[in-house]
Amino acid sequence: MRALFLSALALALAGTACTTQTVPGPLVVSTRQLPEIGARGPNAKRVNGESCGRVVLFIIPVGFATAESAYNDALSQAPGSDTLVNYEERTTNLFLFPFYYQVCTEIHGYAVASKSPAAAPRAAPAAAE
């Protein structure tokens, strides 16, 4: 009877987990080429972003790894940019049962502004007096 109870307890513990939402909103993937942001261009800057979540002693969470925070971390390295092109995302896991668990989301890419200078609105010329 005790073995059955311990087996049921182990199965119940194995079935429980902390689930976090890594992409908090709708995700749009397009294969349409956008010429103004499709190329790196001379002003593109190589950036890296990372977000890590850790769990200590199997029950104490320390941070949450989200793709959005890794994306924001990458964009913060290039002021004025709001888009990543030619990027890749990696997830790494480290698990030392039952003491430590870590998951990290890394994003590497080129930060650019989504508005090209040609598409930006121009100021009206000053009237000559």
pLDDT band at 50 (very low <50, low <70, confident <90, very high): very high
> Residue 36: what pLDDT?
57
Out of 45-49, 53-57, 114-118, pick the least confident: 114-118
Q: Greater confidence, 54 or 123?
A: 54
Answer for the pair 28, 88: CB distance below 8 angstroms, yes or no.
Answer: no
> Residue 2: what pLDDT?
87
What's the DSSP call for residue 42?
A: T
Residues recorded for the chain? 129
Name residue 69's amino acid.
S
Three-state SS at 88: strand
How do strand 45-56 and strand 100-112 relate by DSSP bridges? Answer: antiparallel
Answer for the pair 115, 41: CB distance below 8 angstroms, yes or no.
Answer: no
Name residue 49's amino acid.
G
| pLDDT higher than 50, residue 95 | yes
Mean pLDDT of the 34-60 span: 79
Q: Greater confidence, 121 or 72?
A: 72
Three-state SS at 96: strand
Residue ranges per structural domain of the chain: 43-115
Q: Greater confidence, 42 or 39?
A: 42
- The model's pLDDT over 2-40, given as tens digits with 9 standing for 90+, comes to 888 888 777 666 655 555 555 666 555 555 666 555 555
- The model's pLDDT over 62-93, given as tens digits with 9 standing for 90+, comes to 888 888 899 999 999 998 888 888 888 888 89
Q: What is the pTM of this model?
A: 0.60
Q: What are the b/e assignments for 25-53, b being 16+ CB within 10 Å?
A: eeeeeeeeeeebbeeeeeebeebebbbbb
